[in-house]
Chains A and B, each alone.
Chain A
Amino acid sequence: AQSVTQLDSHVSVSEGTPVLLRCNYSSSYSPSLFWYVQHPNKGLQLLLKYTSAATLVKGINGFEAEFKKSETSFHLTKPSAHMSDAAEYFCVVSVLGAAGNKLTFGGGTRVLVKP
Protein backbone atom coordinates (compact mmCIF):
# COMPACT_ATOMS: atom_id res chain seq x y z
CA ALA A 1 0.00 0.00 0.00
CA GLN A 2 1.11 3.57 -0.55
CA SER A 3 0.48 6.76 1.36
CA VAL A 4 1.34 10.42 1.11
CA THR A 5 1.82 12.94 3.90
CA GLN A 6 1.88 16.65 3.23
CA LEU A 7 3.52 18.10 6.28
CA ASP A 8 1.88 21.54 6.16
CA SER A 9 -1.83 22.08 5.71
CA HIS A 10 -1.31 25.84 5.19
CA VAL A 11 1.68 27.85 3.98
CA SER A 12 1.79 31.64 3.90
CA VAL A 13 4.48 33.47 1.91
CA SER A 14 5.08 37.01 0.71
CA GLU A 15 5.09 37.71 -2.99
CA GLY A 16 8.60 37.38 -4.38
CA THR A 17 9.84 35.04 -1.66
CA PRO A 18 10.55 31.30 -2.02
CA VAL A 19 7.88 28.66 -1.59
CA LEU A 20 8.51 25.22 -0.08
CA LEU A 21 5.77 22.59 0.10
CA ARG A 22 6.81 19.40 1.86
CA CYS A 23 5.73 15.90 0.92
CA ASN A 24 6.74 12.48 2.21
CA TYR A 25 5.53 9.23 0.74
CA SER A 26 5.60 5.56 1.47
CA SER A 27 5.32 2.89 -1.15
CA SER A 28 6.13 -0.79 -1.43
CA TYR A 29 7.25 -0.36 -5.00
CA SER A 30 9.05 2.25 -7.05
CA PRO A 31 6.48 5.00 -7.24
CA SER A 32 5.64 7.64 -9.71
CA LEU A 33 5.08 10.97 -7.97
CA PHE A 34 3.14 14.02 -9.04
CA TRP A 35 2.24 17.48 -7.86
CA TYR A 36 -1.15 18.90 -8.82
CA VAL A 37 -2.51 22.39 -8.23
CA GLN A 38 -6.14 23.28 -7.69
CA HIS A 39 -7.33 26.85 -7.86
CA PRO A 40 -10.57 27.72 -6.05
CA ASN A 41 -13.56 25.97 -7.59
CA LYS A 42 -11.44 24.64 -10.44
CA GLY A 43 -10.20 21.25 -11.53
CA LEU A 44 -6.72 19.88 -10.97
CA GLN A 45 -3.78 20.83 -13.11
CA LEU A 46 -0.63 18.74 -13.33
CA LEU A 47 2.43 20.76 -12.26
CA LEU A 48 5.10 18.10 -12.68
CA LYS A 49 5.82 14.40 -12.39
CA TYR A 50 8.66 12.10 -11.39
CA THR A 51 8.84 8.77 -13.18
CA SER A 52 12.28 7.34 -12.28
CA ALA A 53 14.31 9.52 -14.61
CA ALA A 54 16.08 12.66 -13.34
CA THR A 55 15.55 13.23 -9.63
CA LEU A 56 15.17 16.99 -10.06
CA VAL A 57 11.99 17.60 -11.99
CA LYS A 58 11.03 20.92 -13.52
CA GLY A 59 7.38 21.74 -13.99
CA ILE A 60 5.19 24.54 -15.20
CA ASN A 61 5.03 28.08 -13.79
CA GLY A 62 8.57 27.92 -12.37
CA PHE A 63 7.93 25.04 -9.96
CA GLU A 64 10.33 22.19 -9.43
CA ALA A 65 10.55 19.17 -7.15
CA GLU A 66 13.35 16.88 -6.04
CA PHE A 67 12.88 13.16 -5.49
CA LYS A 68 14.99 11.92 -2.57
CA LYS A 69 14.65 8.19 -2.16
CA SER A 70 16.70 8.05 1.05
CA GLU A 71 14.34 10.54 2.67
CA THR A 72 11.19 9.30 0.86
CA SER A 73 10.46 12.92 0.06
CA PHE A 74 9.28 14.87 -2.96
CA HIS A 75 9.23 18.51 -1.87
CA LEU A 76 7.93 21.20 -4.21
CA THR A 77 9.71 24.54 -4.50
CA LYS A 78 9.52 27.81 -6.37
CA PRO A 79 12.17 30.54 -6.02
CA SER A 80 9.78 33.48 -6.15
CA ALA A 81 6.07 33.32 -5.34
CA HIS A 82 3.51 35.13 -7.45
CA MET A 83 0.03 36.15 -6.40
CA SER A 84 -1.39 33.70 -8.93
CA ASP A 85 0.27 30.83 -7.03
CA ALA A 86 -2.37 31.09 -4.30
CA ALA A 87 -4.10 27.73 -4.54
CA GLU A 88 -4.18 24.27 -3.03
CA TYR A 89 -1.40 21.85 -3.90
CA PHE A 90 -1.60 18.08 -3.79
CA CYS A 91 1.27 15.61 -3.69
CA VAL A 92 0.27 12.34 -5.30
CA VAL A 93 1.81 8.88 -5.52
CA SER A 94 0.94 6.34 -8.18
CA VAL A 95 1.70 2.67 -8.26
CA LEU A 96 0.65 0.28 -10.96
CA GLY A 97 -1.13 -2.61 -9.31
CA ALA A 98 -3.22 -5.58 -10.29
CA ALA A 99 -6.21 -3.33 -10.77
CA GLY A 100 -4.46 -0.69 -12.79
CA ASN A 101 -3.06 2.67 -11.88
CA LYS A 102 -4.46 4.23 -8.72
CA LEU A 103 -3.48 7.63 -7.43
CA THR A 104 -3.19 8.29 -3.69
CA PHE A 105 -3.49 11.95 -2.72
CA GLY A 106 -1.98 13.78 0.17
CA GLY A 107 -4.25 15.95 2.27
CA GLY A 108 -3.26 19.10 0.42
CA THR A 109 -1.40 22.30 1.28
CA ARG A 110 -3.21 25.58 0.92
CA VAL A 111 -0.86 28.40 -0.16
CA LEU A 112 -1.58 32.01 0.68
CA VAL A 113 0.50 34.68 -1.04
CA LYS A 114 0.65 38.07 0.65
CA PRO A 115 1.37 41.21 -1.35
Chain B
Amino acid sequence: NAGVMQNPRHLVRRRGQEARLRCSPMKGHSHVYWYRQLPEEGLKFMVYLQKENIIDESGMPKERFSAEFPKEGPSILRIQQVVRGDSAAYFCASSPAAEANYGYTFGSGTRLTVV
Protein backbone atom coordinates (compact mmCIF):
# COMPACT_ATOMS: atom_id res chain seq x y z
CA ASN B 1 0.00 0.00 0.00
CA ALA B 2 1.78 3.07 -1.26
CA GLY B 3 -0.08 5.57 0.91
CA VAL B 4 -1.27 8.93 -0.32
CA MET B 5 0.89 10.06 -3.22
CA GLN B 6 1.31 13.69 -4.12
CA ASN B 7 3.25 15.11 -7.00
CA PRO B 8 5.20 17.06 -7.66
CA ARG B 9 6.96 17.42 -4.31
CA HIS B 10 8.18 20.88 -5.24
CA LEU B 11 6.75 23.23 -7.83
CA VAL B 12 8.05 26.62 -8.87
CA ARG B 13 5.82 28.91 -10.90
CA ARG B 14 6.15 32.49 -12.09
CA ARG B 15 3.38 34.92 -11.24
CA GLY B 16 0.48 34.50 -13.64
CA GLN B 17 1.19 30.87 -14.51
CA GLU B 18 -0.98 27.91 -13.61
CA ALA B 19 -0.16 25.33 -10.94
CA ARG B 20 -1.58 21.80 -11.03
CA LEU B 21 -1.15 19.64 -7.95
CA ARG B 22 -1.98 15.94 -8.05
CA CYS B 23 -3.07 13.57 -5.33
CA SER B 24 -3.64 9.83 -5.54
CA PRO B 25 -5.47 8.59 -2.41
CA MET B 26 -4.70 5.37 -0.63
CA LYS B 27 -6.13 2.27 -2.25
CA GLY B 28 -9.73 1.85 -1.16
CA HIS B 29 -10.12 5.47 -0.02
CA SER B 30 -12.82 7.42 -1.80
CA HIS B 31 -12.71 10.62 0.29
CA VAL B 32 -10.06 13.23 -0.51
CA TYR B 33 -9.29 16.46 1.35
CA TRP B 34 -6.96 19.32 0.45
CA TYR B 35 -5.31 21.49 3.08
CA ARG B 36 -2.98 24.47 2.77
CA GLN B 37 -0.17 25.29 5.15
CA LEU B 38 1.21 28.80 5.01
CA PRO B 39 4.68 29.38 6.48
CA GLU B 40 4.72 29.16 10.29
CA GLU B 41 1.01 28.26 10.42
CA GLY B 42 -1.15 25.20 10.91
CA LEU B 43 -3.06 23.50 8.15
CA LYS B 44 -6.24 25.10 6.86
CA PHE B 45 -9.04 23.15 5.21
CA MET B 46 -9.67 23.95 1.56
CA VAL B 47 -11.93 21.35 -0.06
CA TYR B 48 -13.42 17.91 0.46
CA LEU B 49 -14.22 15.67 -2.49
CA GLN B 50 -15.59 12.27 -3.22
CA LYS B 51 -15.38 10.63 -6.61
CA GLU B 52 -16.77 13.09 -9.18
CA ASN B 53 -18.31 15.29 -6.46
CA ILE B 54 -17.23 18.34 -4.51
CA ILE B 55 -18.80 17.95 -1.07
CA ASP B 56 -17.44 21.00 0.75
CA GLU B 57 -15.37 23.77 -0.79
CA SER B 58 -15.93 26.30 1.96
CA GLY B 59 -12.19 26.76 2.54
CA MET B 60 -11.29 27.38 -1.06
CA PRO B 61 -10.74 30.92 -2.37
CA LYS B 62 -13.60 31.87 -4.68
CA GLU B 63 -11.37 32.84 -7.57
CA ARG B 64 -8.48 31.10 -9.35
CA PHE B 65 -8.74 27.87 -7.31
CA SER B 66 -10.55 24.73 -8.39
CA ALA B 67 -10.46 21.06 -7.49
CA GLU B 68 -11.67 17.85 -9.03
CA PHE B 69 -11.63 14.16 -8.28
CA PRO B 70 -12.58 12.33 -11.48
CA LYS B 71 -13.89 8.82 -11.72
CA GLU B 72 -10.51 7.70 -12.99
CA GLY B 73 -7.21 9.20 -12.00
CA PRO B 74 -5.93 11.42 -9.23
CA SER B 75 -7.52 14.40 -7.58
CA ILE B 76 -6.27 17.70 -9.01
CA LEU B 77 -5.98 21.04 -7.26
CA ARG B 78 -5.61 23.76 -9.86
CA ILE B 79 -4.49 27.31 -9.19
CA GLN B 80 -4.76 29.71 -12.08
CA GLN B 81 -2.76 32.94 -12.43
CA VAL B 82 -0.72 32.26 -9.32
CA VAL B 83 0.39 35.12 -7.07
CA ARG B 84 3.13 35.31 -4.44
CA GLY B 85 0.59 34.73 -1.67
CA ASP B 86 -0.18 31.29 -3.08
CA SER B 87 3.27 30.10 -2.00
CA ALA B 88 2.57 27.40 0.58
CA ALA B 89 2.63 23.69 1.21
CA TYR B 90 -0.47 21.95 -0.08
CA PHE B 91 -1.36 18.66 1.57
CA CYS B 92 -3.78 16.05 0.38
CA ALA B 93 -5.34 13.49 2.71
CA SER B 94 -7.64 10.56 2.18
CA SER B 95 -9.95 8.44 4.29
CA PRO B 96 -12.08 5.40 3.60
CA ALA B 97 -15.27 7.01 4.86
CA ALA B 98 -16.65 10.20 6.31
CA GLU B 99 -16.43 8.98 9.88
CA ALA B 100 -15.13 11.51 12.39
CA ASN B 101 -12.96 8.94 14.14
CA TYR B 102 -10.92 8.17 11.08
CA GLY B 103 -7.57 9.87 11.18
CA TYR B 104 -6.71 11.00 7.74
CA THR B 105 -3.67 9.65 5.96
CA PHE B 106 -1.74 12.60 4.64
CA GLY B 107 0.55 12.79 1.66
CA SER B 108 3.97 14.38 1.86
CA GLY B 109 2.69 17.59 0.32
CA THR B 110 3.52 19.79 -2.64
CA ARG B 111 5.53 22.87 -1.83
CA LEU B 112 4.57 25.61 -4.23
CA THR B 113 6.86 28.59 -4.66
CA VAL B 114 5.69 31.52 -6.74
CA VAL B 115 8.49 33.74 -8.01
Contacts and interface: CB of A to CB of B under 8 A. Distances in A.
A44 B91 contact: yes
Interface residues of A, number: 27
A102 interface: yes
Given A99-B55, A100-B55, A102-B45, A43 B107 contact: yes
A44 B42 CA distance: 11
Contacts of B31: 100-101
Give the interface size class of chain B. Answer: 20 to 34
A20 interface: no
Nearest to B42: A105
Contacts of B44: 105
B42 A51 contact: no
B113 interface: no
Interface stretch (A65-73, A79-87, A88-96): A88-96
B100 A32 contact: yes
Interface of B: 31, 33, 35, 41-45, 48, 55-56, 58, 91, 93, 95, 98-109, 111
8 contacts: A90-B42, A96-B100, A99-B48, A101-B102, A102-B56, A103-B104, A105-B35, A107-B41
Q: Which 9 residue pairs are nearest across A and B when measured between Cβ atoms? A: A51-B101, A99-B56, A96-B100, A105-B42, A43-B108, A100-B98, A44-B106, A32-B101, A46-B103
Interface of A: 31-32, 34, 36, 41-46, 49, 51-52, 90, 94-96, 99-108
